[in-house]
Amino acid sequence: MKIYLKIWRQKDASSKGKIVDYTMNGIEGDMSFLEMLDILNEDLISKGEVPIEFDHDCREGICGSCSLQINGRPHGPDRLITVCQLHMRSFKDGDTIVIEPFRANAFPVIKDLIVDRNAFERIQQAGGFISVNTSGRTVDANSIPIRKENADKAFNAAACIGCGACVAACKNASAMLFTSAKVSQFALLPQGRIEAAERVQNMVRQMDLEGFGNCTNTGACEIECPKGISLENIARMNREYLGASIKG
């Protein structure tokens, strides 16, 4: 295939960025999207040009590092996958592909397609932990009765990889889906109830301090989430927050 690329290039955080055009020939459908970018970078290096910086790590859809905005959609046109799982067969010969970094004030661009997502880390540090001793002589987990429904919901919430697609998809750049997933994975389990009130208040407070917007109620975050994190978690976090606020 012959593919036309429009890629965001930005020297550093303080520089002004712009879209730069590239043309690639001989692209095969079985290539992954990141493999295509690797080939482009090899070509740029061979010409003595600066390669395009983009994040990646596991390339197995686990770490969430490969977060790119592709034709206006976080992680590209396919659902329930990350960019590293996207293949070029999702595009056609002659297609134009626009590749940008995730756009949010709380995700400042570092260089080219790489953004700083440490805001997520700070939200998690604000309350994403439990005080129950999980090392040494602990009680067998199977001795603590937990409803199967709650265990499944907690597991599904914990599947969030913190890629930031929810933020990029939201017109308010809201981090409600991410934060609510991290609140829910503990709130649904007895081990997480000890700090429940403190956790939700601290994490929501940090989310606001980072500059993320409020929920738009449009559901774009769930649609674009590569792990299919449910909007149900936002409703749960709102209930947790209201209850914690009433208790003081």
Give me the pLDDT at residue 141, please.
63
Beta strand pairing call for 96-100 and 3-9: parallel
- Positions of CATH 1.10.1060.10 in the chain: 117-247
pLDDT at residue 134 is higher than 90:
no
Which residue type occupies 220? A
pLDDT (tens digit, 9 = 90+) per residue, 47-71? 999 999 999 999 999 999 999 999 9
Instruction: Map residue 8 onto helix, strand or coil.
Output: strand
How many CB atoms sit inside 10 A of residue 79's CB? 12
What is d(CA 113, CA 68) in angstroms, rounded to the nearest whole number? 7
Hey, which CATH number is domain 117-247, 1.10.1060.10, 1.20.58.190, 1.20.1730.10, 3.10.20.90? 1.10.1060.10
pLDDT (tens digit, 9 = 90+) per residue, 207-248? 999 999 999 999 999 999 999 999 999 999 999 999 999 987
Backbone φ and ψ of 136, nearest 5°: 80, -140
Contact 99, 68 (CB under 8 A): yes
pLDDT at residue 137 is higher than 90:
no
pLDDT at residue 23 is higher than 70:
yes
Take residue 236 and report the two structure tokens written for it: 């749960």
Strand partners, 111: 114
pLDDT at residue 142 is higher than 80:
no
pLDDT at residue 132 is higher than 90:
no
Tell which residue, 122, 98, 119, 113, has the closest CA to residue 166: 119
CATH assignment of 3-111? Answer: 3.10.20.30
CA distances from 100 to 73, 116, 245 (A): 10, 14, 39
How many CB atoms sit inside 10 A of residue 179's CB? 29
Instruction: Map residue 238 onto helix, strand or coil.
Output: helix
Please, which pLDDT band fits residue 143 given cuts at 50, 70 and 90? confident
Determine what percent of the chain is predicted with pLDDT higher than 70: 96
